[in-house]
Amino acid sequence: MDLVLPLEYQLGNWCKHFTGRFQKQCRAGIAYMTFQASALPCLKDNCSTETCTHASFPTVTEVQAQMQEIEGLIKQALPNLSKGICPQCRKPIERKEIEGFSQYAMPCRHRLGTTF
């Protein structure tokens, strides 16, 4: 079994209001502590017995629009990265620094990606 699920699947699987497990609440103002951490109803296929009345998942059309936006951003970013230019601010990358699991462009400190 693949450990990494396709991006298209992941985009459609998360509630539109989800902000990340390290935040206190979602965009709808619901505190994550309301639910058991292992069974957030923010994830469509987690078999949670808990429900959230504010849960709202992207439609197939919305997921496709997100995929096109992401693919466009990647097509813009890759040529810049290969030339040593930061894809976010378009300034030259003098060096890259690793902090935790992330890699940053220096001196602008924009995040370039993960290191694993």
Q: What residues line the site for Zn ion (CB under 5 A)?
A: 86, 88-89, 108, 110
Q: Which is nearer to Zn ion, 50 or 99 (CB)?
A: 99
Report the alpha-carbon distance of residue 87 to residue 9 in Å, rounded: 26
Cβ 112 to Zn ion, closest distance in Å? 9
Cβ 32 to Zn ion, closest distance in Å? 31
Cβ 73 to Zn ion, closest distance in Å? 14
> How many Cβ atoms are within 10 Å of 68's Cβ, its own excluded?
10
Q: Which is nearer to Zn ion, 39 or 78 (CB)?
A: 78
- Cβ neighbours for 80, distance < 8 A, ≥ 6 positions apart: 86, 87, 90
Q: Which is nearer to Zn ion, 88 or 103 (CB)?
A: 88
